[in-house]
Amino acid sequence: MSTPPAGNKENANPNPRFGTVQPASESQSLKRQGSVLDWGARKKPAKSDPLVHHGRHFGRTVHAFANIHSLILAGLSIESEGLESAQQRREYRVYKKLLKMIPNFEERLLEAEPEEIVAMATQIQKGASSSRSDDTSSMKPVIIDWITPAEEPLKPLLARNQKLDRGFNHPVTGRLLCPTSLDWSDPEIRTALKNKEISISGADWPRFLYCDERYDPGDPWMGLLRGELLISGFKHIFTSPSSTEDAPRATRSGNARIHGMTRVTPASIAYTATQVRFALSSATTFCRTDRDTDSETFYTSLIELLEDPEEEQETKALLSWWNGRVFPSASNTRRIAPENSALSNIRRKRASRKASASGGAGTKL
């Protein structure tokens, strides 16, 4: 058997032992370096339909559970036939908000064929559904941080990535979810809720909706929808997840800024409350028809209260309070520099110098 020449590296080890590295040829090495260093053609980001973009904001701020296609058909029908019932008036208000949200949408609908209306409605529905799913997923872990005491761990501990131990299975989430009509301090009530022996309607509101969880039967509006969990939930969804922290560190615009939102809406508060309520619960799938959470009934009951003309005064006060908490820069409160501030003093000095200069110029003339 002949042996390969000592200087012939290419044939020195034609079958290298497994686990060893065979030196690459110069051409192979250069080729490999080129493939690593070459970025290649830049891929263009996939463009989402603008209707999906608008649908995301519509679901969060106008109506979370609307059937968009049915809403559009009802709106077009109402415009041709007129309003006859309270239900039609509610649907028409939502429809008009949808038209206002999407540029030139009314003209597009009036000129569209039936199949085109279906296609547009599908894209808007896709946006509303995807935003709801995104918010549900992102809030599931962080809500544990919000309900954990500042100086001590949550007892017993709760997993951030699963929900089976939440709801009425845990003393903290159970207390927060306990309806105002029931006494959580009663052991029999706690046991019945845990064992699902009591069925709770979505219209029977939980204590976390109230400031400091304090509900006054004599004044049910006092503290309603002013709970700190709601503020954290709203900031997480609309301004940026990190804005719930003491030192916000957001590096990109939140949903409110992306959509030009500078005021809360009744629907955005109801949507936030619905997401927080679901995150506290042990339910694993957000479903409008889920009998355990009864989310759609809960959401609708809040919307109906906040849009009730007879509750207008209380609702205006509530919205003003919310705007001051989450959109302080857009608040109606005016910030005026005092007369003795540095800025006011600079302006007075400048005005004085201008007056002196103009007076001197007049004398020379």
Asked if 218 and 250 sit in the same domain, the reply is yes
Asked if 103 and 145 sit in the same domain, the reply is no
Check: CB of residue 108 under 8 Å from CB of residue 120.
yes
Radius of gyration of the chain (CA): 31
The predicted structure's pLDDT at residue 346: 87
**What is this structure's pTM?**
0.77
Q: Is residue 269 situated within a structural domain?
A: yes
Mean per-residue pLDDT for 239-247? Answer: 60
Q: Is residue 197 situated within a structural domain?
A: yes
Asked if 117 and 141 sit in the same domain, the reply is no
Domains in the chain: how many in total? 2
282 vs 21, more confident: 282
Q: With a cut of 50, say whether residue 196 has pLDDT above it.
A: yes
Asked if 256 and 301 sit in the same domain, the reply is yes
Asked if 146 and 291 sit in the same domain, the reply is yes
pLDDT band at 243 (very low <50, low <70, confident <90, very high): low
Distance between first and last Cα of the chain: 117
Mean per-residue pLDDT for 78-94? Answer: 85
Asked if 213 and 261 sit in the same domain, the reply is yes
Asked if 142 and 225 sit in the same domain, the reply is yes
Q: With a cut of 70, say whether residue 114 has pLDDT above it.
A: yes
pLDDT band at 287 (very low <50, low <70, confident <90, very high): confident
Nearest to 108 by CA among 100, 120, 96: 120
Tens digits of residue pLDDT in 30-60: 444 555 555 555 555 556 799 999 999 999 9
Asked if 190 and 293 sit in the same domain, the reply is yes
The predicted structure's pLDDT at residue 86: 84
Mean per-residue pLDDT for 76-80? Answer: 83
Asked if 136 and 111 sit in the same domain, the reply is no
Asked if 84 and 223 sit in the same domain, the reply is no
The predicted structure's pLDDT at residue 44: 54
338 vs 65, more confident: 65
Q: Where do we find the tokens 């872990």?
A: 141
> Which domain does 141 fall in, by range?
130-330
Asked if 322 and 174 sit in the same domain, the reply is yes
Asked if 146 and 271 sit in the same domain, the reply is yes
Least confident range from 20-24, 49-53, 101-105, 238-242: namely: 20-24
The string of DSSP codes covering 148-185 is S-TTS--SS---SS--TT-GGGSHHHHHHHSBTTS-TT
pLDDT band at 87 (very low <50, low <70, confident <90, very high): confident
